[in-house]
Chains A and B, each alone.
Chain A
Amino acid sequence: MGGVLTGSRLRPALALPPAVLGVIAGHLAGLQPWALLAIAALVVGVAQQTLP
């Protein structure tokens, strides 16, 4: 499973759906930059626990 997003050919195609969802969320839900900052900070802080 982990290799799906690492495949160089599939990756751009897989990036599209979440990007479209992001645009919709930003446009319709009025997602603010400070909220993105807080969410990204939290998630990447947790994800970085897996760094070698």
Chain B
Amino acid sequence: MSGEYQTAGCGGGTVQDARLRIGATLLLSCAAFSSIFGAVLVAVWWAVVARGERNLPGKRPATVIFGTIALVAAFTEACGGDGLSYGFRMTIVTLIAFWAFGRGREGDLMNTAVWAFGDRIGFDLGLTAEMAISSLRRIEMDIGDIRNALHLKGSKGLVRDLIALGFTLTIMQIYRAREQARVLATRGYRGGGSYSPSFHTTNADIAGFFGSILIIIAIFISFAGYL
């Protein structure tokens, strides 16, 4: 297998370098989940660095996602746990996830995996990750189409519609995965391959990543002070 990826047009935006974005996502997620202090710092980072690219979901998905977090937080609080803290930290982690997922471009994970782990394991990891991401995007479109089809056919009730949507999506994904596997086998894929990763790094990328490192350092210092 061989491939070459040219980074797409880089007009505007922050953290376009996939390595820095993935690194920043990991650091920020850990920082946000570690403590309220960390979550506040990450929230500030999100407000400053991710502005204009927050990729927030629509009303309905946002209600489901943040509603689930709120429900778990309320349950935890009611059971004597620190639900409010959990709710706030998870909300910030989720906001970072939206930013990271929406900002990604095709080939980012392949570039990063091959750059980090080489042509054998890196290639396999990158390929798997790229296929997973493209499946997620495809599922997103499928859900829209299936919902429209159900609407046209006439709803049979929320539960029955959800069951129909779930099994159709699952089976379609299994078929697609099988077809993808056949294509890879036909093209001679046995594991690993050659690939030339390429990245476009801007000053904003470095500043954003550097900010996430500062946040992690601040959290370590705060923990050290606490201990």
Partners in one complex: no
Which residues on A are within 8 Å of B, measured CB to CB?
A: none
